[in-house]
Each structure stands twice: as structure tokens, then as C-alpha cells.
Structure 1
Amino acid sequence: MSRLPTLSLLLLLLQCPLSSLSNSQGDALYAFSRRLSDPNNVLEGWDPTLVDPCTWFHVTCDSNHNVFRLDLGNHNFTGTLGPELGQLPYLQYLELYGNKFSGKIPQELGNLINLIGMDLSNNQLEGSIPNSFGKLKSLKFLWLNNNELTGSIPREITLLKNLVVFFENNKFSGPEGKGLVP
């Protein structure tokens, strides 16, 4: 009879959701994927029960299993960009170009302090460029062209050294050009 409590405890542990064992980066990526319509089933292999998202297609990790690249360009996704993308602290490259993303660019993308390149071009994004992008001191390339963005270019972005911004074919107020090199 002494085996019964041990067996019961084991069965209880096996029924616990795997989210308690999960990786916060995987949780963030999976939450982002739930916002999307994926007509080509590109994200079909994104399994939330796997602790490590480094095995998922279009996700690249470093040797410490930190997500440093997300490449989801040209896959015909629709949906919105969510704040959960800002929970990828090691991300260096965010490639979301050539889809049909709509809505506003989340302020939380300004939390990606290791970001070197972000390509949000050729979508249907609207609203203004978040001022929080001024925190992206490592950012070298920012592609925002061919969206529906409005407002003015935040001064914080113009102060970033070594940044090249592509933002033509939007609806900005004020001067607009093919690129900006501060």
C-alpha cells in the first residue's frame, strides 16, 4: 500500500501543464504564432510542449539556446504583431517582411536591446513608429518601407548612431526619404 501515494504523486506530476517547465522564449514565440493566420502551415512544427524553441523552423538559436533570429519573411501571414515579441531578449534579427501584418507596431519591440536588424517592410502596418525604438542602441538596419505608417519620424531614432532606416512609401507627415543616416 505504500506505493499508492508515490504512484498518485507521479500521476499528478505527469498531469501538470508543461508550461511550468517551458522556456519563456518559446512561450513568447508560441503566443505570437497564435495571433497569426498561417495559410501555408509554415508554423505547423511550432510545438508548445517542447521546452526548447530552437528546434522550430524559422527560429535560430545560439549555443546557449537563446533565440537570436526569427525569420518569417514572405510567408503570407496575416494578423498583428504582439507585445510578446518584446520578450525575446537575445534577439538580433527580426525578419517579418512581405506578409500582411496589420495594426500598430508594439512599443515592446523597443525592449529588444540586442537587435541589429529589423525588417517589417511590405506589410500593412499602421500608426506611428514607437518612440521606444530609441532604446535600440545596437540597431543598424530598420526596414519599415511599404506600410501604412503615419505621424512623424521619432527624434529618438534619428539619434541612434550607425542606423540606416528605410521608410519610403508610408504616410508620414514631414520630410520622408529613401533612408536616413544620422
Structure 2
Amino acid sequence: MAFPSLLFFTVLLLSFSYSISTNIEGNALHSLRTRLSDPNNVLQSWDPTLVSPCTWFHVTCDSNDHVVRLDLGNSNISGSLGSELGELKQLQYLELYHNNIGGKIPKELGKLKNLISMDLYGNKFEGNIPKSFAKLKSLRFLRLNDNKLTGSIPRELTTLSNLKVFDVSNNDLCGTIPVDGPFGSFSMESFEHNRLNGPELKGLVPYDFGC
């Protein structure tokens, strides 16, 4: 007779774990909402009283109700991002392009190990490109163009072997352009309209030359 009790306990535990994980993701997205100004009410459906954020507009979940995609491109939102986005552990697509989001890009985005695409272009982000992005080993698309980013391009990003598209044009970056890893295949258009000094010449000048 112990088997039904064990089965009930297992189902209860799984249900509890599911509730905890979806609450964490819902809380993270609600925290993001509090940071953003939303004149067009695109975030109106983001109801923090719901157990799961999977019914919210612009949020896509997988079959296990984990958030895998956040689509807020061209939404006329402004404000800033915070560390809470690092809680979306299963996120694969972060699409925030063509808004008015400013401030620094949170280093906690480096926790999103399943991220395939990060599109932050066409905003007002400033400060450095986080070195923590080097942890995003699944990343294929990283578009940071048309912002106000400064500093050099982190050499740690040359370890992202799956990176196919990298665009930092129209910022205020300095130093030299990496040539290792996938950077050997990116076009110069991906780096134009910065203060960059051209491709890195190893052993001749430091990578942050001119910064």
C-alpha cells in the first residue's frame, strides 16, 4: 500500500518544483516590467498574480512551461534591464531591438546558457560589452549595433565557436578588432562607425590600443 502514497508524493513534489520554477521566471519578467516605461501597453497582459507567465503576450514557453523566447522588438519601450533576466535559465531568444532601452547591459545575461540569439540593437545601451557573454556557448547571433556602447570588444568572445553573426556597428567602441575564433569570418561592416583601429596585429599593439 506504500506505492500509491509514494506516487502521490512524487507528483506533489514535481508539481511544487514546477510551480517554483515558473514563479521564478514570472517574478523575473514582472521585475523587468517594473523597470520599463510602456506607453503602448504591450505589457498589459503581464499579470504577476498568474502562476505561469506562459499566457502573457510576447512570451513563448516550451512544453515544460519554461520561458524560451522574449519578443519585445519595436515595442516603443524605454527604461533599463536588470539582473533578474539572468533567472530565465531556459531562454533561447532575447529580442529587444528597436526600443529606447538604456543603461548598462547586465552581466547576468551571461547566465543564459541556452541563448541562441540576442538582439539588443537600436537602443540606447551604454557602458562595456559584458565579458560574461563568453559563457554563452550556444550563442549564434549577437547584434548590439546602433547603441552607445564604449570600451573594447572583449577578447573572451573569441571562444564562442557557434557565433555566426556579430554586429557592433554604430557605437563608440575603441581598441582593435579580434581576429581569433569566429571573428575571422565577420565582415568589416559589423564593426564600422566606431573608434576601432582595425584588425588586431598580434604582438605588435595591445588589443585595447586607442582606448
Q: CA RMSD in A?
A: 1.7
Cα deviation per residue 1:40-89 (whole Å; 9 max; x = unaligned)?
00001100000110000000000000000000000110100111011100
Structure 2 stretches of 5 or more lacking a match?
1-18, 178-187, 192-211
Once the two structures are superposed, the pairs formed by residues 145-164 of structure 1 within 5 Å of their partners are: 145-163=145-163, 164=165
Runs of 4+ with deviation above 6 angstroms: 19-22
Q: Quick one: higher RCO (CA 8 Å, sep 6+), 1 or 2?
A: 1
1:159 to partner: Cα distance: 1.8
Q: What residue number does 1:4 align with?
A: none
Q: Unmatched 5+ residue regions in structure 1?
A: 1-18
Distance 1:154 1:22, change over 3 A: closer
Distance 1:31 1:162, change over 3 A: same
Q: Would you say 1:179 and 2:179 are equivalent positions?
A: no
After TM superposition, the structure 1 stretch with the greater mean CA deviation from structure 2, 108-117 or 151-160, is 151-160
| CA shift in 2, pair 1:153/1:48, >3 Å | same
Query: Any conservation in 2 of the 1:167–1:178 contact (CA below 8 Å)?
Result: no
Q: C-alpha distance in 1, partners of 2:140/2:170?
A: 20
Distance in 1, Cα, partners of 2:143 & 2:58? 19
**How has the CA–CA distance of structure 1 residues 53 and 151 changed in structure 2, closer, same or farther, with 3 Å as cutoff?**
same
TM-score, normalising length from structure 2?
0.74
**Conserved? CA contact 1:21–1:51, under 8 Å:** no
Q: CA–CA distance in 2 between the matches of 1:108 and 1:118?
A: 13
TM-score under structure 1 normalisation? 0.85
- Give the equivalent residue in structure 2 for 1:89: 89
Q: How many residues align?
A: 162
Larger CA deviation: 148-157 vs 19-28: 19-28
Percentage identity across paired residues of the two chains = 63
